[in-house]
Amino acid sequence: MKVLWAPWRMEYILTDQEKGECIFCPGDDRSQDEARLILYVGSQSMVVMNRFPYINGHLLVAPVRHGPDLEFLSGEETLDLLVMVRRSIAILKKEISPEGFNVGLNLGRVAGAGVEEHVHFHIVPRWNGDTNYMTVFGEVRVIPEHIEETYHKLLPHFQEIKPRR
């Protein structure tokens, strides 16, 4: 598949392989959030931009606690995770005005999970006539806005969210 832009991809892939860290485990150091595209870390859930997006605004919402599937989550974690999915959709609606969304999760490698050891939801904004056909027929992804620009549009909205306790 051809990608129209991905100047950060090799550095990202090599950095993660060298460190052996989970991209969804935020740790306690918030100084690297922008570099890691982390928009929000609460007590139970977090939101990060997808480094390999299908389209701009592609977000990933994960529990803070590391685990592979929904059965792993407590009821409180499940509720917090779904509340963050809902809030993330509201922020995307406000800031980039998509006409719809694909929201879901891939459980297990055969289901398409790229990071199967840490469960996470995908939120993919969609517009009528967007570039979905390009990936299927042309093996090309069209990303109309640089990922850092989208990050800076969304970040102030996530900074307003107070973590549930």
Three-state DSSP state, 63: strand
Please give the full DSSP string across 62-87, using - where no structure is assigned: EESS--SSGGGS-HHHHHHHHHHHHH
DSSP type of residue 52 = S
**Nearest-angstrom CA–CA distance, 87 and 74:** 20
Computed from CA positions of residues 133, 137, 142, 147, in that sequence, does the dihedral angle turn out positive or negative? positive
CB 127 within 8 A of CB 98: yes
**Nearest-angstrom CA–CA distance, 152 and 150:** 5
Strand pairing partners for 103? 123
Reply yes or no on whether 66 is catalytic. no
Segment (H or E) for 38: strand 38-41
Identified catalytic residue from 58, 120, 122, 152:
120
Residues sharing a CB contact under 8 Å with residue 131, sequence separation 6 or more, in sequence order: 55, 141, 142
- Which positions are annotated as active-site residues? 120
